[in-house]
Amino acid sequence: MRPSAGRPSAAPAVTVAGSRQRVTAIVVVVALVLAVFGLRLVYLQGINGPAIAQEALKDRLVSVSSVGARGQITDVNGVPLAVSVERYDVAVNQKQVATYKGTKDVPGGAAGVAQLLAPILGANPAELGGTLVGTSTYRYIAKSVVPDVARQIRALVLPGVQLEKVASRVYPKGTLAGNIVGFVGADGKGAQGLEYSLQGRLAGTGGSETYEIGGHGQTIPGGYDVATPAVPGSSARLTLISDVQWKAQEAANAQKAATGADAVTIVVMGARTGDVYAIADSDSIDPNNPGAGAAGALSRAVTQVFEPGSTGKVVTMAALLENGLATPTSQFQVPNQFTTPNGAGVITDAENHGVEHLTLTGILAQSSNVGTVTAGQTLTVQQRYDYLTKFGFGSRTGIEMPGESGGILRPFAKWDGRTQYNVLFGQGLAVNALQAVSVYGTVANGGVKVTPHVVAGWTSPDGTYTPVARPAGDRVISQNTAGELMTMLQSVVDAGSGTGNAAAIPGYRVAGKTGTAQELSSNGITASFVGVVPADAPQVVVGVFVTNPRTSVYGGVVAAPVFADVAGFTLASLGVAPSDTSAAPALYPTTW
């Protein structure tokens, strides 16, 4: 009998309800996951999206600055003396340089970029490559390259290589007016001369640009780009005349060599305007390369002081005439020496002589210290001081140049017994060359003192020229007194009576004064001549100052001939007609 088959085991029951629960669970899980991603997406795009986008943009932004072009400095006729030229600094983002892909012939990265840039910059590829490797985002690899080099670099479109436009200062005339114009420092700011004193108006206002770049350093068209343009500075037009400045510098250098002097300074100024046509210092610096000369870059015409000596006697004469204490023909017996009534000492002339019978004009023409004190002692000490200050001694002239000394003029209450008399013939006080010239400018201008100036006006960035306003002059002496002085000063240059006959200029009447005096800062001397021409219709005042000449100490010998040379050239340059000698008044007698 076959055994009976067993009942098969029952399969697990699968209910509809269980399946539905599992599906629901899966759906819930998926929904939760999707919700999380959705919320995250909403957060990223809707809530934090702008911040993230901004962070990403920052990584793609490059900012470069630009310098507003510095204004030019020109002479009165527009001849450029200082100009700014377009140049470029080359900088790199070393991180971006590393992304350079290279080409078939050029390797990628810093080596390839160096290979392309080196011949353009005139650099060694290996050395240049070393400066391109690193993590710096802004490192300069070349400074002040010319526009053509910048164009070649820009055409390569290299990642991480940036060009920054800058302005470089150039002085086209080199040493011409170098000590007046001065120069700028490495920071582009004025360091000496007018470049320094006029910094506020010459300097431009810097600009900037921030723009978006791609992965290879290329500018993204239509991308972020915000720029603030640079604004150029104003340009200064000086009163200098380049031809006259050149002549004065040439004469200063030549006379320094001829006399073995330490230095020669020449000032040329408009007689009635105060316009400075030239200020020449021997051995002027070249602002393009001031080098070792930078320490002496300031003009000696305004920084170096000395006793005016006999050129200062004109102030004593002016005070005597103005106060009615003497006339040009007043007669004086002039002994060999003068003993001061206060017992302060004895005053002598340069050479021994017997008693001379000189007029006031003769005293000036012969440059007699004894005669000047004999006549000048009638002035009170207060009057002596007052006229020195009226003519500008002891005060800066106000010219726009930096570093001007006001000279030395102590209050008369502090004068000792000797100084009370010495000031009458230009000792016991100190002036700079420009102050000395300004005194004669006052006499030439009919007794009205004007402020010397070297800046004629300014041209704004839009091309508008505005002349500098001139303050009204101050009357120091009457026009009549000034006229008498001009005639007296002509006797100084007269061949028969004066010490300055070497200053004569054929065809022109010349009024002037010689001088020899000490420098207060040393034991040296300054020989000088200051003159006005034409004396009958003053146009030009010229002062020549020779420091420590070895050939002669007399201004009539070492300074007067230079005056004639420079003044004659200036008259021709300005087109000044010769004097009408037929109408010239007779000179005052010098003796009696």
Q: Who contacts 408 (Cβ-Cβ below 8 Å, separation ≥6)?
A: 305, 394, 429, 430, 520
**Cα 186 from Cα 89, distance rounded (Å):** 14
CA neighbor of 251 nearest in space, from 580, 567, 514: 567
Backbone angles phi, psi at 496, to 5 degrees: -90, -15
Q: Who contacts 85 (Cβ-Cβ below 8 Å, separation ≥6)?
A: 167, 168, 170
**Cα 468 from Cα 457, distance rounded (Å):** 5
CA neighbor of 238 nearest in space, from 185, 189, 176: 176
Q: Is the dihedral of CA 29, 30, 32, 36 positive or negative?
A: positive
The answer to whether the beta carbons of residues 423 and 394 sit under 8 Å apart is no
Q: Which residues is 110 bridged to in the sheet?
A: none
Residue 221 C-beta-side C-alpha neighbours within 13 Å: 0
CA neighbor of 311 nearest in space, from 406, 435, 411: 435
Q: Which two tokens stand for residue 123?
A: 């650099």
Q: Look at the block and give the residue holding tokens 């630009």.
A: 66
Length of the chain, in residues: 592
Strands (E), 213-304: 225-228, 235-238, 263-270, 276-281
**Cα 530 from Cα 532, distance rounded (Å):** 7
161-170/139-145 β-pairing: unpaired
**CA dihedral of 477, 478, 479, 484, whole degrees rounded to 10:** -80
**Cα 256 from Cα 519, distance rounded (Å):** 17
Asked about 310 being catalytic, the answer comes back as: yes
Q: Which two tokens stand for residue 204?
A: 């431009």
**Cα 139 from Cα 145, distance rounded (Å):** 15
Q: Which residues is 73 bridged to in the sheet?
A: 82, 236
CA neighbor of 555 nearest in space, from 443, 433, 445: 433
Among residues 197, 234, 310, 368, which one is catalytic?
310
511-518/225-228 β-pairing: unpaired
**Cα 251 from Cα 274, distance rounded (Å):** 22
Q: Which residues does the annotation mark as catalytic?
A: 310
